[in-house]
Amino acid sequence: MEYQTWYTRYYISTESIRKRGFFMRNIYQEADRLHDVKFSAIRVVLEKANEMAAAGRKIIHLEIGEPDFSTPGDIINATSVALVEKKLTHYPPNRGVMELRKQIAKFMHDIYKVDYNPADEIMVAVGAVEAIFAAILGHINPGDEVIVLTPAYANYENCINMAGGKCVKVALKEEAGYQIIREDIEAAITDRTKMLVVCNPNNPTGAVLTQESQQKIADIANEHDLIVLTDEIYSLLRYDGSEIRSLASFGGMRERTIVVNGFSKCFAMTGWRLGYVACDKRFYSSMLKIHQYATNCVSTFSQAGLAEAMFSEGTKRESAEMVKKFNARRIAAMEILDKCSKLSYVKPDGAFYIFINVSRTGLSGSEFAMRLLEEKGVAAVPGDPFGPGCDKYIRLAYSRDIETIKEGCRAIVDFAESAGKK
C-alpha cells in the first residue's frame, strides 16, 4: 500500500465497491442508438400464428411477404456446380463477384435503360435489407431529416432512427390511389431534409407509381437537391402492362438516386440473401465501408451461380411463370374481396400485397387481424406499423397457392360481414 498514490487508493476502493454491486453497470442495456428501433410487427403475428399451429390449429398464412415458389432450376444448378465442382468457397471481393456485378449492370441497362459501371457503381449486398441499411447509415447524420412516403416498409424508419436521423413521414392517400401529391411532400421539406425514400411497387399497398407521379418525385428531388433512395425490389412483379421505369432514369436523377433491388421476390430467392445497390460512384465508398464491416459479402458460390444463370432461358421462363401465377392469385383474391361492401382497397398493380381498409367493419386493423386469426385461423398483418393512418388497414400477401388464397379471402369476407354485428 505504501507505493500507492491517493488516486490508485481511490480507484481500488471504488472498484471494490463496484464489484460488490453499488455502482453496477447494466451490461445488457442496449446502445442508445437502438432506443427508437423496433422489432418487426409482422414477426409478432407470425409467432402467434405459429403458436396456434403448434397447438393443432389449421392456419392460413397470408401474412408473409415471401413467394412460395422455388428458385429457378438453372440458378440452383449453376450454384451447385459453383460449389461442388468449381469449389468457389473463398472470400469474394467486398463489392461482389465481378461477373454478377456485370450481369446486374446489364439488367439495369436492358430493363431500366440506366447505365452503371460494374467496377464502382454496383455493390452486391446481403439482400435489399442490407442495401437499405448501407444507403441510410452511409449518408444520414444525426439530425438529418429523411422523408419516407408511407404506407412504407418499416425498415426505412428503423434504419433512419439507428443513424440518429429524423424520419418525416408523408402519407400517400388511398383516395388518390397512393399517387404523389406534390404539395404534401413539399410541405414536409426543411433545410435539414437530405433524403427521400420511396418504394415502387409498394409494400404494403401493391400500388405502382404512374410515370407522372415518378416525374413529380424527380422534380422535387432536383429542385430541393435531395438524395432519393428508391426501393425497386418488386419492380418485375407488375400486372398493369405499363412500362417499368426506375426513378434513376428520369432527367437529372441518375446522379442523386440510390437504387436498391434484389432477387428475393422476382426469382423467389429469399433465403439466398442476394440484393444490390446501383448508384453514382460518388455514393459508393460510404456504402462499401458499411458493407465491409457489417457483412463483408454474400457467399461466393451463390453469387457465381446467380451470375451464370440470371439470364438463362430457363430462368426467364420460370420467373415469367411466377408473375403469371401471382397475377392469377391477385385476380382471384380481388374477385372474392369485391363481394364485401365493408372492405375497400386500391387495386394493386404490383408486388403481391393487398392493403385492405377494414374501417367499415367498426374494427381497427389490429383488432380485425387479431380476431381474424383467433376466430377464422387466417393470419394477416395489421396496418399500423406501415405509417400514420394505417391503423384502419390489414395487409394480405397473396404469395401462397391459389386455393389457400381463395379460402383465406372467403374467411376474411365472412369475418368482415359478421364482425360489426358482435
Q: How far is the CB of 363 from ligand PLP (least distance, A)?
A: 25
Minimum Å gap between C-beta 287 and ligand PLP is: 15
Q: Is 149 helix (H, G, I), strand (E, B) or coil?
A: strand
For ligand PLP, the closer of residues 92 and 275 by Cβ is 275
Nearest to ligand PLP of 205, 361 (CB atom):
205
State whether residue 249 is helix, strand or coil: helix
Instruction: Give min distance, CB of 18 to ligand PLP, in A.
Output: 43
**Residue 103 CB neighbours (<10 A):** 20
Task: Identify which of residues 353 and 415 has a Cβ nearer to ligand PLP in the complex.
Answer: 353
Alpha-carbon span 77 to 68, nearest angstrom: 19
Q: How many CB atoms lie within 10 A of CB 402?
A: 15
Q: Nearer to ligand PLP by C-beta: 301 or 386?
A: 386
Chain residues in the site for ligand PLP (CB under 6 A): 65, 127-129, 153, 199, 203, 231, 233, 262, 264, 270, 275
* CA neighbor of 293 nearest in space, from 126, 71, 411: 126
Minimum CB separation from ligand PLP for residue 66, in Å?
A: 8
Cβ contact 197:143 at 8 Å: no
In angstroms, what is the minimal distance from the CB of 27 to ligand PLP? 31
User: How is residue 379 written as a grid cell?
Assistant: 393470419
Beta bridge partners of residue 19, listed in sequence order: none
Of 317, 333, 346, 280, the closest CA to residue 122 belongs to 280
Return d(Cα 265, Cα 361) in angstroms, integer. Answer: 32
Grid cell of 40 as nine digits: 418487426
**Which residue number, 247 or 340, has a Cβ lying nearer to ligand PLP?**
247
Closest residue by beta carbon to ligand PLP: 127
Residue closer to ligand PLP by CB (options 215, 264) is 264
Q: Are the C-beta atoms of residues 201 and 208 closer than 8 Å to each other?
A: yes
Terminal-residue alpha carbon distance, the chain: 78
CA 396 distance to own-chain centroid: 15
State in angstroms the smallest separation of the CB of 96 from ligand PLP: 14
CB of 107 to ligand PLP, least distance (A): 15
Q: Which is nearer to ligand PLP, 68 or 255 (CB)?
A: 68
With CA atoms as reference, report the closest residue to 368 among 339, 345, 396, 403.
Answer: 396
